[in-house]
Every structure is written in structure tokens, then in C-alpha cells.
Amino acid sequence: DTGVSQDPRHKITKRGQNVTFRCDPISEHNRLYWYRQTLGQGPEFLTYFQNEAQLEKSRLLSDRFSAERPKGSFSTLEIQRTEQGDSAMYLCASLSNLPPPYSGANVLTFGAGSRLTVL
């Protein structure tokens, strides 16, 4: 499988617990992104990595959220002390060049997402 893999696909947890999601991007893609999508909304950018460096974080990423990409390959997104408002789909994507006829354009390839439900 050469796509973006996310694990777990579904997670149900109680408020206050910690959860961790993993993303394995397409192997040759240097840039990895995390987005969050709540019901009826479009995805919202959280953070991204260039190799192992975290280059940008959205104001949506509170102190309870931490993301890592230690070896520049897979990434983890941890949420500490989960709240009901954290219930959402967490999407991972990697960035690549688009082939012709596109010129100088990139595209995000998304994984299937990890759905979090906080009770």
C-alpha cells in the first residue's frame, strides 16, 4: 500500500484520558500535515512537519496537543486530558508534486483519518 496510513481508525475514550494517533505518510514525501475535521465542517489545519522539524502550528493546537515526527518518517499526534470538544476526525496528509499537465503545483494526499469520540 503506497497511500497515507492512519491508526487507529476509530477511538472512543472517556473525558480526561490521553489518546495518541499515528500517521505513516507516503515514504518519499518530506512534508506531513495534520488536520482536524468536525461534523459538517471542512478540515482545519493543525500543524505540519518538514522531515522531523515542526514548522507551523495553528492556534487550534492547544497546549494539550502535541505532535512529533522523530525520524522524519511516521508522525504521532497526542491529545492529553481529552475534552468532549476534541471529538473529531483527525486527518493526516503528505504533500507531493502534481504531475503534468500541472506546473509547479503540489497536492495533499490524505489518509482515511482517525475518528475520535470523547464521552
Partner 1 sequence: SQELEQSPQSLIVQEGKNLTINCTSSKTLYGLYWYKQKYGEGLIFLMMLQKGGEEKSHEKITAKLDEKKQQSSLHITASQPSHAGIYLCGADLMNYGGSQGNLIFGKGTKLSVKP
Nearer to partner 1, 27 or 103 (CB): 103
54: which 3 cell numbers? 515542526
Length of the chain: 119
- Position among 42, 70, 99, 100 found at the interface with partner 1 (CB under 8 A): 42
**Phi, then psi, of 26 in degrees rounded to 5:** -65, 135
Q: Buried (b) or exposed (e) across 64-99, using 16+ Cβ within 10 A?
A: ebbbebeeeebbebebeebeeebbbbbbbbbbbeee
Residue 52: closest CA among 35, 73, 33: 73
- Looking up cell 469520540 gives 117
Q: Which of these segments, 16-24, 63-71, 78-86, 108-116, binds partner 1 (CB under 8 A)?
A: 108-116
Q: What is the total count of residues that contact partner 1 (CB under 8 A)?
A: 29
Residue 31 touches partner 1, criterion: CB under 8 A: yes
Nearer to partner 1, 42 or 70 (CB): 42
Q: Minimum distance between the CB of residue 110 and partner 1, rounded to whole angstroms?
A: 4
Residue 8 touches partner 1, criterion: CB under 8 A: no
Interface residues with partner 1 (CB under 8 A) are 4, 31, 33, 40-45, 48, 56, 89, 91, 93, 95, 98, 102-113, 115
